[in-house]
Amino acid sequence: MLKIGEFSKLSHLTVKALRFYEKEKLLVPISIDEWTGYRFYETGQLETAAKIKAYRQLGLSIDEIKAIDSGADVRTILSEKAKSLSAQREEIDVRLSIINHILEEKEMKYQITEKRIPAAVVYYAETVLDNYQEIMQWIPSLGEECMRLNPDLKCTEPAYEFCEYLDGEYKEKEIRIRHNEAVMSRGIENDRIKFREIPETRVLSIYHKGAYDRIGEAYAYIMKYAEENGYQVAGLARECYIDGIWNKDAVEDWLTEIQLPIE
């Protein structure tokens, strides 16, 4: 039999690790001297030690290793681990891509993040506006009308609302627009207020601070970023008005988030 120090050298596991695996009942000494507390292992347990070390190097948790010891299918557990690692790799690739994009810019004016917008029910309305200045009068009128129709309707927490521009090009007049706001359930509709479900959406997100007449710079930046990093645009861009004329006195304090749906 081997003392714990000898077993440690042969298994390439620290004494601390061996004591931990003993506590977790993954690798228990074959005997423990009742007087000295010395722990003894058999050479046959080196194979068990090697298996535990291999599983840990693959990123398996203690519970997953225990499940395998209890008869769980190894291939199933490793398959799930592979999916988890692939997702982590995608997240790391996204972070590296953002970092590299920032490093290539002379000025860090915009920063892009990737996130997922949960599925939701939204009330929405579409119209044609004479100009962009009308947007901030039109949106509140929709909320008031929706609440008159549905006085008990609740918006989601956190709140989520956005506008989509339906024209296939930039227009200064006769602008086709759709406004959406997430709510807890469907409600009563009329000629103007409708309800629909939007699926979970993966988006690139960028924030623009300042006047809306400069927002084209943010759109150019996010589109360039998507193209250079191999993203496929999967829908209309969403404009989320976070701060604006309704709560900020200075134009330079207006804050708008642009969300670009991607595959």
Q: First-to-last CA distance in the chain?
A: 58
Instruction: Say whether pLDDT at 149 is over 60.
Output: yes
Instruction: Say whether pLDDT at 57 is over 70.
Output: yes
Instruction: Say whether pLDDT at 253 is over 90.
Output: no
Instruction: Say whether pLDDT at 109 is over 80.
Output: no
Whole-number CA gyration radius for the chain: 29
What is the average pLDDT across 144-164? Answer: 94
pLDDT tens digits for 58-92? 999 999 999 999 999 999 999 999 998 888 887 78
Q: In the 3-class helix/strand/coil scheme, how is the chain assigned residue by residue?
A: CEEHHHHHHHHCCCHHHHHHHHHCCCCCCCEECCCCCCEEECCCHHHHHHHHHHHHHCCCCHHHHHHHHCCCCHHHHHHHHHHHHHHHHHHHHHHHHHHHHHHHCCCCCCCCEEEEECCEEEEEEEEEECCHHHHHHHHHHHHHHHHHHCCCCCECCCCCEEEEECCCCCCCCCEEEEEEEEECCCCCCCCCCEEEEECCEEEEEEEEECCHHHHHHHHHHHHHHHHHCCCCECCCCEEEEEECCCCCCCHHHCEEEEEEEEC
Query: What pLDDT score was predicted for residue 102?
Result: 60
Q: Which of 95-104, 170-179, 208-217 has the lowest mean pLDDT?
A: 95-104
Contact 37, 73 (CB under 8 A): no
- The label of the residue with tokens 């909320």 reads 143
Instruction: Say whether pLDDT at 103 is over 80.
Output: no
Instruction: Say whether pLDDT at 108 is over 70.
Output: no
pLDDT tens digits for 17-41? 999 999 999 999 999 988 999 999 9
Query: What pLDDT score was predicted for residue 26?
Result: 93
Query: What pLDDT score was predicted for residue 246?
Result: 78
Burial of 73 (0-12, 13-18, 19+ CB in 10 A): exposed
Query: What pLDDT score was predicted for residue 98?
Result: 64
* pTM, rounded to two decimals: 0.59
Query: What pLDDT score was predicted for residue 194?
Result: 97
Contacts of 101 (CB under 8 A, 6+ apart): 112, 225, 228, 229
Query: What pLDDT score was predicted for residue 52?
Result: 94
Instruction: Say whether pLDDT at 171 is over 80.
Output: no
